[in-house]
Amino acid sequence: MTKLIYTIEGLSVWVGRAFGWCILILTLSVSYEVFVRYVLNAPTVWAFDMMVQMYGALFLMSGPYALAQDSHVRGDVLYRLFPVRWQARIDFLLYLLFFYPGMLALFWYGKEIAADSWRYKEVSWNSPARIQIYFFKTLIPVAGFLLMLQGLAELSRCWRAMKTGQWLPRLTDVKETEDILAEDPFEDQPAAGK
């Protein structure tokens, strides 16, 4: 079960890192558009559509990554006070009752939206550039599928915690600044004079 959890989490982390490059593309395109619009007085027709699509792709594909890293928002005023087994039971139940129905709807209706978009070879109506958007609409069901897959890893993680009373450690990736600052830099070093 542990291997399955880490395989799914590894996929979610890899996808999140890959689509994280959308931030660089988004930043460069915004900077370029601002420069040509306000310095050269020659705005582009494609920049707005491309920025919206990059942001949408980043938003959709970062969901599985956030779930794998346990970095989503949680109202844990009471939850954190419960024993691990009860936390796992609560999470398991909430994934089944709320997470999975939403992700199934995202996948199912996203598949229909993407299929229609491909059938019509849909283009953006926001600008005269008429940028193709059916590629990006395909990310809707893909994100739904990846979220359901990561949800399976989360259910397995909960099941394991209900049995053992301990949470399985997550794959480490980037850390928040406050987490880095809270770490003891001398934790792994031997004491002086030994």
Q: In residues, how long is the chain?
A: 194
In a domain? residue 178: no
Would the pLDDT of 160 be above 90?
yes
- How far apart CA 147 and CA 123 sit, in angstroms, is 27
Neighbours of 2 (CB within 10 A): 10
In a domain? residue 188: no
Cβ 128 vs Cβ 44: under 8 Å: no
In a domain? residue 192: no
Per-residue pLDDT of 9-32, as tens digits, reads: 989 999 998 888 888 888 998 999
Handedness of CA 58, 60, 61, 65 (dihedral sign): positive
In a domain? residue 194: no
In a domain? residue 111: yes
If one counts the domains in the chain, the total is: 1
Per-residue pLDDT of 31-77, as tens digits, reads: 999 999 999 998 888 888 888 888 888 989 999 999 998 887 777 78
Residues of the domain holding 113 = 2-71+80-168
In a domain? residue 121: yes
In a domain? residue 182: no
Neighbours of 126 (CB within 10 A): 13
In a domain? residue 89: yes
Name which of 61, 50, 79, 18 is nearest 149 in CA terms. Answer: 61
